[in-house]
Each structure stands twice: as structure tokens, then as C-alpha cells.
Amino acid sequence: MQKFEQLTYGHFFHIYNRGINSCNIFADNENYEYFLDLYDKKISHVAETYAWALLPNHFHFLVRIKQKEKIPEVIYVPNPDGAWSPVRVGTPAQQFSKLFNSYAQSINKRYHRHGGLFERPFKRKRIDNLVWLKRTILYIHNNPVHHGFCEHPLEYPWTSYLSCISLKPTKLQRETVIGWFDEKASFISRHNEKLELGKIENFLGVKETRQVER
């Protein structure tokens, strides 16, 4: 059985998953928006996000798991009647599982399907140096290009690339990301360069199919 790394506190991870049997997990804009909303609710308490990309049958995130003492034990969520109820925050791995399970339940209900939606366990790769953090960001933002959905990350709406070059408020760790590339101009320029896909995918342990459903 393949072993996966623990989501250790204070470290960076590339998080990747896809639909079971490479099935689509996003069918329309509402699906993408709902997933991102769930992601914020389930993950923002346990991790900071540095890059992301959502494609029809898979997704990528670059996150830093927060230090344990920075993660609340309990959060309060609103009820339909206006009251607030306490909800215990699980470990980072448990919170990602909650995200996937909640989203799968919603998709199953909406499209009258049943069974699993995502491959299990979700894949994760710890990254401990700046060179590979930058390469992972470039890989994530260019993923729609690799799969033929666009010719440049600027043209695809479901990645963090647009948030990185925007001035709009964001929960993305934008300043840190831009700082890794020294300045915004360099960040943009590096996204125009050709990537060594095989080398990056081997490092990340990603085995994506080149046929992505649309």
C-alpha cells in the first residue's frame, strides 16, 4: 500500500486529488464556486493557501499547514435560525477529508448520483525549499495550459493566477508569493516560460492523464 506523508504543522504541501476513475468533479461555474466556498470554510482555519487550480476532473493546491498553536480548537458557525453553534476543528487531514466529503455529498444530491467522487487517499507532497515552491506555483497556474483549456493562465478563471496579479482583496498569500519571484513583473515573466513538466510531475508524484474531460 502506498504511504502518504503526514500533514505536519508549519510545513508546505502540494495537495492534489481527482475524480474517481478520472470522472469530472466540476460541471459548471456553480460547482467551482461552491467548492471554493467550502474550501474556505473547512481549510482556512488549518492552512494558508499560496496557489490553486481547479480543472474539470482534478485540482491542485499549494498550502502551508499552520502551527498547531495557531489552529483554533472550536469555531462558531451560524444556524438557519440566526444562532451560532460550536464546531470542533479537526486535524489538517481531517479538515481536508471534511471538505471532500461535504462536496461529494452535495454533488451526489444535485446530480442524483451515489458512491465516491474523489480518489482516496488524497495526494500530498511536502516541499521544503524555495526553488520547488516556485516551480510548484508555476506548475499549478499553468495546469490549464498543459491540458489545452487556454494558451496562458490569464485566460482561465479557476486558478489563483488572476488573484496574484490583481489588487483586489484576497485570502491568498499573495504578497508572499509575489515576493518569492522578487516582483510582479518577474512573476508574470516566469509564467510565460516553458516548464519541465516531467521533472516537476515526478517530484510532486503527480500522474495526471493528459485527457481531461470538459
Q: Please write the tens of the pLDDT for every residue from 42-69.
A: 999 999 999 999 999 999 999 999 999 9
Domains present along the chain, CATH in parentheses: 12-204 (3.30.70.1290)
Euclidean distance between CA atoms 83 and 14, whole angstroms: 37
Cα distances (Å, whole numbers) of residue 64 to 27, 78, 105, 167: 28, 27, 27, 22
Euclidean distance between CA atoms 191 and 159, whole angstroms: 13
Q: What is the pLDDT of residue 128?
A: 95
With a threshold of 0.85, does the pTM exceed it? yes
Q: What is the pLDDT of residue 209?
A: 53
Task: Note the pLDDT tens digit of each residue in 179-201.
Answer: 999 999 999 999 999 998 889 99
Mean pLDDT for the chain?
93
CB atoms within 10 A of CB 198: 8
Q: Supply the DSSP string of 105-126, one letter for each residue.
A: HHHHHHTT--S--B-SSPEEEE
Residue 213 pLDDT level (bands cut at 50, 70, 90): low
Task: Note the pLDDT tens digit of each residue in 14-47.
Answer: 999 999 999 999 999 999 999 999 999 999 999 9
Residue 77 pLDDT level (bands cut at 50, 70, 90): confident
Q: Does position 214 have pLDDT exceeding 60, yes or no?
A: no
